[in-house]
Homo-oligomer: A and B are copies of this chain.
Amino acid sequence: MYKINENYLKLPGSYLFSTIGKKVRAYKEANPDKDVISLGIGDVTQPLAPAVINAMHKAVDEMGKKETFKGYAPDLGYEFLRKAIVLNDYKNRNAFVETDEIFISDGAKSDSGNIGDIFSKDNKIAVCDPVYPVYVDTNAMAGRTGDYLEDKQKWSNVIYMPCVKENNFAPEIPEETPDIIYLCFPNNPTGSTITKDELQKWVDYANENGAVIIYDAAYEAYISEDNIAHSIYECEGARTCAIELRSFSKNAGFTGTRLGFTVVPKDLKCEGVSLNSLWARRQGTKFNGAPYIIQRAGEAVYSEEGKRETREQVAYYMNNARVIREELKSAGYTVFGGVNAPYIWLKTPDNMTSWEFFDVMLNRANVVGTPGSGFGPSGEGYFRLTAFGEYENTIKAIERIKNI
């Protein structure tokens, strides 16, 4: 008799956003006349940039002609895209990354889940708490996290690094030494980040302790302050301890277009074994590349028009973030984030739990946000709002929240 992966049965309930979806659907069914505004899931609302649209039309035409038709893509992705990435995301920021260290993918969610494939089951992971649920869930599926302790809302074999108001939402070096450290800056969900100097400390720590950092830089386009690294490879020594995940979802609105990449430096070795080779083998065996049309779309993001147009999108969302932050602050809420990230992280008022506040927001303001506790136990008592809505809706939502 065949056997299933029993680790899946340890996963608590359903994925956070599925639960929210169900609650919202139930409310809408019971209140069909209400206009519910979502500042919940981190999905963008602005259309793709004209430069991207033009590039895709051109690529679609190429696929329709025998002379320019494209079959299987090169294993790592097309060189035109990997070159544009190296130049714009790394060389221009004085970070050394080569084209054969870039692996084009269908997005950072896939990569952040799949990257675990190349590591042994016997690694102890450390995560910021709260954090994007995919890091922990995918490690739970792989059997790395021990058992889920319902009362503590924690896994028994995970090192949680609390990121709370008291430490300015910056993780501290944990007492126990982890093997794999997940860092995401600017952070989802807290919207906070750390300085380049602080990040350098993590790089040094990883190199000194034989740990590897999985660095999720999906929100780097939202960084507005100077002393913050856009890539971990801006830090000295990161090439021997860090893998970086990047996404086109938030900087260019590709949530429904699907494109991302992972950087695995050739200097990253575990007892002489190159992680770049392992990931190349993993992707070459279990993945067949992102569509040609979408890779051309990604290339267009780096064109002059593409850069200008996507910068405008980011500015649009960051204006939303500013409005949410300032308005809620003036209404007496304690708010964080929204300066270098499209997320606003607020303290729930009157010691409400995150889910209690979710219900108040849904029922009394008809606004959907994300309960902080869904991102980890230290998220309890917090609530996430995203700046990815339309401006008009964002204004309306904030007015309603102020009137609760």
A72 contacts B120, CB within 8 Å? no
Q: Say whether, besides A113-B285, A287-B109, A288-B258, A4 and B66 are in contact (CB < 8 Å).
A: no
**A 178-231 contacts with B by CB, 8 A:** 179-180, 209-212
Contact of A293 among B118, B180, B293 (CB under 8 A): B293
Would you call A61 an interface residue if the criterion is a C-beta within 8 Å of the partner chain's C-beta atoms? yes
Closest to A209 in B: B1
Instruction: Give Cα distance in the complex from A180 to B63, angstroms.
Output: 38
Would you call A270 an interface residue if the criterion is a C-beta within 8 Å of the partner chain's C-beta atoms? yes
Contact of A53 among B53, B61, B70, B256 (CB under 8 A): B61
Q: In the assembly, how many copies of this chain are there? A: 2
**Per-residue B-contact encoding for A266-295, CB less than 8 Å = 1, 0 else:** 000011010100100110111111111110
Contact of A109 among B3, B258, B286 (CB under 8 A): B286
B1 contacts A72, CB within 8 Å? no
Judged by DSSP, the binding face of A is loop
Would you call A323 an interface residue if the criterion is a C-beta within 8 Å of the partner chain's C-beta atoms? no
A69 contacts B53, CB within 8 Å? no
Complex contacts, A210 vs chain B, CB 8 Å: 1-2
A287 contacts B110, CB within 8 Å? yes
**A 316-333 contacts with B by CB, 8 A:** none
A120 contacts B3, CB within 8 Å? yes
A and B contact pairs by CB, cutoff 8 A, 11 listed: A1-B271, A2-B120, A3-B179, A4-B270, A5-B118, A5-B121, A8-B118, A44-B71, A45-B69, A56-B56, A106-B287
